[in-house]
Amino acid sequence: MTTYRIGWDILFPDPGELDSWNCRTCGAPCDVQRNLFACTDKYGAAPKRLHDKFACPNAGKDWHGQAYKLHSAAEGMPSARVRQLMLEDLDELLVMHAAEGACGSSFRSLLRPSQNETG
């Protein structure tokens, strides 16, 4: 069973809200299903609603899980030096899989620190 992380490698926007969406973990263009009527939480406890579903085709692969752990840990890392090392490891991992065609061409933009991380 594939483990998805909402907002990272799976997203449930309102119908038609997005034309496309790239995985925050690896930058790959996500597969899309339109106008689904289903629950959108991982436990099946939320009410059903109409939505689109974007899911990364790489979710569930070992390297993708490793990339998620590096990326999410780097986002919360208070040390700029340690964060930089984590992002370098993530870059190496994504470059290797981009060469295999698994990552989207936008993955390098994932490695830029956000405005609130640069200060």
Written as one string, the DSSP assignment of 51-67 is EEEEE-TTTTSHHHHHH
How much is the mean pLDDT over the chain?
85
Same domain for 71 and 46: no
**Residue range(s) defining the domain that contains residue 39:** 10-55
Least confident of 30-34, 42-46, 60-64: 42-46
Say which amino acid occupies 36: L
* Number of separate domains in the chain: 2
Same domain for 91 and 50: no
pTM of the model: 0.81
pLDDT in tens, 61-119: 999 999 999 999 999 899 999 999 999 999 889 888 887 777 766 666 666 554 334 44
Same domain for 51 and 71: no
pLDDT band at 44 (very low <50, low <70, confident <90, very high): confident
In a domain, 66, yes or no: yes
